[in-house]
Amino acid sequence: MFCDFDLHMPDRLDDALSVLTDEKGMPMAGGTNLLVDMRSRKETPASVIALGNVGELRGIHFNDERTTIGSRTTVSDLLQSTELVSSSPSLVEAAAVFAGQMVRNAATVGGNIACASPAADLVPPLLSLDAELMLVSASGSRTVPLADYYQGYKRNIRGKDELITQISWARLPENSVNMFYKLARRKGDAITIVGVAVTLSISNGICRKARIALGAVAPYVLRARESERRLEGQVISEELLCAAASQAARECCPIDDVRASATYRRHVVKALVGRLLSQSWNRLV
């Protein structure tokens, strides 16, 4: 079943980092991805560093400017926080349609980001919130925008000795709407066919900020930057939103797989981006 591996269960972040040095070591948070991949032998780590006992990595914190969550915060934790509903609604919406209850109890935000799946459901919301990651190794730490984290299919800039420790983002500007929609073949425990998160900030009828993040339609979760550019600084109209939706559909590059065809995915991107943008607009006027 599994390959042979050494199991480390550190209590403190420092201890975790001190064993996360060699190429063949892998951190494990909830294990809902890693254990599945180890069982199918897609992953054969020589050592597994279980983060379950590292308490300092778990928690949700707010201050006047930013929301910060520890990487080991579980998807269920996100659903327990009332403050998160107002500060980051898209993330809570994604958590509510994430997997099923059992997986939500184990799965973590850090694991979802680190697995680098194009279908990772928390990533479009976090991109739509301009989230940043803190990467820490035994020799130091750095902060990188989530938007720069992914390099290709299941590829990212994380060094083998680094852990994602926290994720943070600034409060949304006034007059903003932030939402997420997951389209899948069933409601529980389903891999996303298309995930869309949008942030729309409007004042005086003009779009001040637009974020459109698309899941499962490219090698990694994508921001539809052209589409965003079309909106920002413009007077919002139904036609503009429609054009932005069409543009988003052009920007994605989906594939055919067992769940859906590329053509269908593109069709849905247009429909959902259009729908989420106009729902956001309706809420703001």
Partner 1 sequence: MIYGGPSDETAPNVKRWQVGKPLPRIDAAGKAFGSTPYAGDHVMPGMLHMCIVRANIASAKLRFLDVAKARALEGVVEILTAEDLPIAEVAPGSPDRDGTERPNTGPPILAGERIRYFGEPIALIAAETRDIAERARQLVEFDLEPLAGVYDPLEAMKPGAPIVQGNDNIVAVRNIRKGDAANRLEDADYVVENTFWTPFQEHAFLEPEAGLAWTDENDVINIRVCTQDIAHFRAIADAIGVPHNKVRVRGALVGGGFGGKEDCTLEKFLAVMVRKTRCPVRLEYSREDSFVGHGKRHPLILRYKTGVGKDGKISGLDVEIVADSGAYLFLSPYVLLYAAVASSGPYRIDNLNVRARAVATNNMYTSAFRGYGSMQACAAYEQQMDEVARVLEMDPIEFRRLNYLQTGEPISTGFVPPSAIWTEQCVDRAWKAMGGPVNSTQEHIKIGRGIAAYQQSYGRLSFLGDTSEAWVGVELDGTVIVRSGVADIGAGQISALCQITAEILGVALEDVVIYSSDSAVTPLAGRTAATRTLYMTGNATKQAAEAIRARLVRRAAQEFGVAPDEIDLVEGKVLARAQPDNCMSIGALAEICETEGICRSELAMFHPQLQDFLDPETGQGQAHPDYVYGAHAAEVSVDTETGEVCVLRSIGVHDVGQCINRAAVEGQIEGGAQNGQGFALSEEMLYEEGRLVTPSLSEYLMPTSMDMPRVESIILESRSGIGPFGAKGIGEPAITPVAPAIANAIANAIGVRVFQMPITPERIVNALEERDKRRRTMTAR
Ligand X SMILES: Cc1cc2nc3c(=O)[nH]c(=O)nc-3n(C[C@H](O)[C@H](O)[C@H](O)COP(=O)(O)OP(=O)(O)OC[C@H]3O[C@@H](n4cnc5c(N)ncnc54)[C@H](O)[C@@H]3O)c2cc1C
Contacts to partner 1 by CB under 8 A: 1, 100, 183, 185-191, 193, 258-261, 264, 267-268, 271-272, 275
115 binds, among partner 1, ligand X, none (CB under 5 to 8 A by kind): ligand X
* CB of 79 or CB of 240, closer to ligand X: 79
* CB of 41 or CB of 229, closer to ligand X: 41
One of 17, 107, 197, 231 touching ligand X (CB under 6 A): 107
* CB of 186 or CB of 285, closer to partner 1: 186
- Give the containing element (helix H, strand E) for 31: none
Interacting residues with ligand X between 23 and 62 (CB under 6 A):
26-34, 36
Distance CA 67, CA 275 (A): 27
Place of tokens 């939706």: 245
* CB of 126 or CB of 177, closer to ligand X: 126
Q: ∠ CA 176-180-183 to the nearest 5 degrees?
A: 155
Length of the chain: 285
Specify which residues 66 forms β-bridges with: 170
* CB of 160 or CB of 250, closer to partner 1: 250
Amino acid occupying residue 223: R
Distance CA 55, CA 49 (A): 14
Total number of residues binding ligand X (CB under 6 A)?
A: 27
User: How many CB atoms sit inside 10 A of residue 156's CB?
Assistant: 20
120 forms part of the interface with ligand X (CB under 6 A): yes
Q: What three-state secondary structure class fits 147?
A: helix
Summarize as ranges the residues that interact with ligand X (CB under 6 A).
26-34, 36, 71, 98-99, 103, 106-108, 110-112, 114-115, 120-121, 163-164, 189
